[in-house]
Amino acid sequence: MKQGNQRIATKDGSHTLYVPELDETYHSRHGAIQESMHVFIDAGLKHLEPTHNQLRILELGFGTGLNAWLTAVCATKPVWFHTIEKYPVSIDDALSLNYSNEQTSENGETIFKSITTANWEETVTISTNFKLHKTQNDFRIAHLQPSYDLVYWDVFGFRAQPNLWEAPLFQRVYEALKVNGCLVTYSSKGVVRRTMEAVGFEVEKLAGPPGKREMVRAWKR
């Protein structure tokens, strides 16, 4: 496969990609879809939807497009979804994954293809409730509009890329969030929580997805 990525099956049957040069996978080996559902959809999207008429979501790490796709499939209210990725996965690699086979929602396969092939640097209407804007850039310098309700922090893990878990990036994201907006991430490392708190986040630990004891939801109050 291109870029040296290797497609592997995770324990819930859904695919992820393994990156040999980082010795890192894009999702949990315990289950790609169940991890994304638990961390980003259940603890993020579904937690905020009851108190919002619409949501503006920022994602750090478009990756395979899984979080964007699950958001489009699961959203019951309008979502404007801005995702940033420095090194996009090839379209061929993304379309080789089996997400639409693992999710039974109507038009799931069509939506995933539309998200995967959507032009970068343009706002694209994917469905009635979902508009997507993909930016190819470094998270640390990309323009962030100060208007987000929810952030999906889905960069590679601290072990692989510790520079993406440092205070300056958390500070930029904190400033881009609305008051009472929140960030969700799969990591609950002590150093990560302390860094979030140092820039102003109110951090809560939640039960993690299968294979992980805890995750984090952090608020701007």
- Whether the Cβ atoms of residue 166 and residue 153 lie closer than 8 Å to each other: no
pTM above 0.85? Answer: yes
User: pLDDT tens digits for 46-64?
Assistant: 999 999 999 999 999 999 9
The C-alpha torsion from 56 through 171 and 70 to 16, rounded to 10°, is 160
- Model pLDDT, residue 145: 86
Fold adopted by 30-219: Rossmann fold (3.40.50)
CA 31 from centroid of its chain's CA atoms: 15
Q: At what angle do helices 167-176 and 190-198 cross, to 10 degrees?
A: 50
User: pLDDT tens digits for 6-24?
Assistant: 999 999 999 999 999 899 9
- Model pLDDT, residue 1: 41
Pairwise CA distance, residues 213 & 199, whole Å: 25
Residue 106 predicted with pLDDT over 70: no
